Amino acid sequence: MSRLVVLIPDEREKPRGGIMNLVRQCAVARHVGADAVLATPTGKDSHAKRWFRHQEKVIKWSDRKPDDICLIPDMYSDQVGEHQGPCIVYEQAPLLISADFDHLRENVQIWTDSPFMLEKCHAIFPGVEIPIVPNVVDNVAFPFTPQEAKRNGLMIVFPRKGADFIKATFSLYKKQGGVYWKPKALKKMRLDKMASVFCQAEAFLASGEDEGCALPPQEAMSAGVVVVGKSAKGANFSMRHGETALISESVEDTVDSFFRLEDAALRRKLSIAGHEFISRYHPDREPADFWRRVLNGDFGDVAIAPAGN
């Protein structure tokens, strides 16, 4: 049995949800008893500790051992050829999938994070089974806050994802007389600061066109924030129209949804249902069950040693 080494970028890469999910996956694996560490190209830890407030052991990628089981993100999939031991390529972003490694090599596996990504992976990597790994949504960082305790009209937006869509939507909303919703743009910030905004906001605008399985809408649901907007071609599968969120792919439909969400009773209903749905991805639920299955040998060559060995 071998140690699990989870490769993440160092400070040269901007913090993003896919990196956060890798850090959390490592933490959950350790929690259920795996010998697991993070690795960065330089051995420096600027993401887990500085941005995400996770205290994880970090090694230099070049210091890995030949028999380590390496969990490699899509952005580094070309590193598979540099490690002859067992490799798992974790495909989280549709724009980062690349057939730059031998996916049929005996000790190579591919994991992904949504039905949308699974379809893309099967098209690029035929002939292998690919499990869907549940995202880890941190309910400690993003605890449920009732709509009644939030700031009226505060809506979270991410300008780096669909900035034109965000601008056009709020412009039309104001043109049609909308005054309730006010955008709060979240840019590069630490997890704790971002989480504090989620605790205050009533709504979250999903504006990304290309997602693998975006964490922010899921974190919003965990925090009792109502999600509205794009389904990212179905990748945001936690958005179930009229049940856990309001899906609206166009600017015009999104503006209509904005006006609908001025109804406090509807916001309360969606926020409670969204939280109930997404709680399955809290660390002690499906993610922990998944990593227990890994430790039990349900994924072939992935035989991770328990901590302390």
Residue 178, classified by CB atoms within 10 Å of its CB into exposed (0-12), middle (13-18) or buried (19+), is middle
Residue 52 has pLDDT above 70, yes or no: no
Q: What is the arrangement of strands in the sheet containing 203-206, beginning at the earlier edge strand?
A: 182-185, 154-157, 203-206, 226-229, 245-247
Backbone angles phi, psi at 17, to 5 degrees: -60, -35
- Provide the pairing of β-strand 87-91 with 36-40: unpaired
pLDDT at 232: 85
The CA-based angle 183-138-208, given to 5 degrees, is: 40
Residue with tokens 């056009």: 168
Q: Give domain 4-136+283-295's CATH architecture.
A: 3-Layer(aba) Sandwich (3.40)
Tell me how crowded residue 47 is: count the other CB atoms within 10 A of its CB.
26
pLDDT score of 164: 95
The DSSP H or E segment spanning 183 is strand 182-185
Domains 4-136+283-295 and 147-281 are alike in CATH topology: yes
The answer on pLDDT for 56 being more than 70 is no
CB atoms under 10 Å from CB of 231, counted, come to: 22
Q: If you average pLDDT over residues 53-81, what whole number do you get? A: 88
In words, the CATH class of domain 147-281 is: alpha beta
Instruction: Indicate the pTM of the whole model.
Output: 0.89
Cα atoms in the Cβ-side hemisphere of radius 13 Å centred on 78:
4
Q: Which pLDDT does position 124 carry in this prediction?
A: 96
Distance of CA 196 to the CA centre of its chain: 18
pLDDT, residue 14, reads 61
Q: Most confidently modeled of 101-115, 186-200, 227-241?
A: 101-115
Per-residue pLDDT reduced to its tens digit, 252-265: 999 999 999 999 99
Report the pLDDT value the prediction gives residue 46, as an integer from 0 to 100: 63
Q: Which residue's entry shows tokens 């406090």?
A: 264
Distances (CA, A) of 63 to 7, 12, 58, 111, 189: 12, 19, 11, 24, 30
Decide if 151 contacts 200 (C-beta within 8 A): yes
Report residue 12 as tokens.
């040269």
Q: What is the reported pLDDT for 11?
A: 63
Selection from 181, 205, 198, 202 nearest residue 254 by Cα: 205
8 A C-beta contact, residue 180 and residue 203? no
Instruction: Please say whether the beta carbons of 91 and 124 come within 8 A.
Output: no
pLDDT at 185 exceeding the cut of 90: yes
Are 136 and 52 a contacting pair, CB within 8 Å?
no
| Cβ contact 112:132 at 8 Å | yes
Burial class, 33, CB count within 10 angstroms (exposed 0-12 / middle 13-18 / buried 19+): middle
Token pair, residue 28, equals 């959950």
Name the nearest CA neighbour of 51 among 75, 18, 2. 18
Nearest to 282 by CA among 28, 1, 23: 28
In the chain, domain spans: 4-136+283-295, 147-281
Tell me the pLDDT of the chain averaged across its residues.
89
Per-residue pLDDT, 125? 96
